[in-house]
Amino acid sequence: GASRNENESSKSIHYLQNARGLLNQTSVEYKNKNYTGAEELATDAYLDNFEYVEHVLEQKGSHSMVQNIEHLMREELRDLLKNKANQTEIDKSIKASNVKLLEAIDLLNGVK
């Protein structure tokens, strides 16, 4: 019933919030020149958090949002980290991901 859906939504929102936290932490670690740590955090944000939410967002009919976030987090940010891009570029990429993750949170919250 409805409660299961609500439960799934709140779990998904938790994952998305978590992903945002990990991305912010990625920036901090990168700033501290802990490049390996930064890459691990970015990977966790994607694999251990966003991946669990993808199907829920798809169900809500937001395929393009999923693809967008996937591209930002899995490809763009991880490439920048691997290539030791400058902090400004890293932060710009993280900010773009965070904006999209917030949109996903709003979608799940039913905020129009």
What mean pLDDT value characterizes the chain?
93
For the stretch 45-62, pLDDT in tens is 999 999 999 999 999 888
Span 14-30, mean pLDDT? 98
pLDDT band at 4 (very low <50, low <70, confident <90, very high): low
Residue whose structure tokens are 């912010």: 24
- Reading phi first (left if > 0) and then psi (alpha if -120 to 50, else beta), residue 61 is in left
pLDDT band at 2 (very low <50, low <70, confident <90, very high): low
Q: CA-based angle 39:43:44, to the nearest 5?
A: 120
pTM for the model: 0.91
34 backbone dihedrals φ, ψ, rounded to 5°:
-90, 75
pLDDT at 1 over 50: no
Question: Residue 6: what pLDDT?
Answer: 74
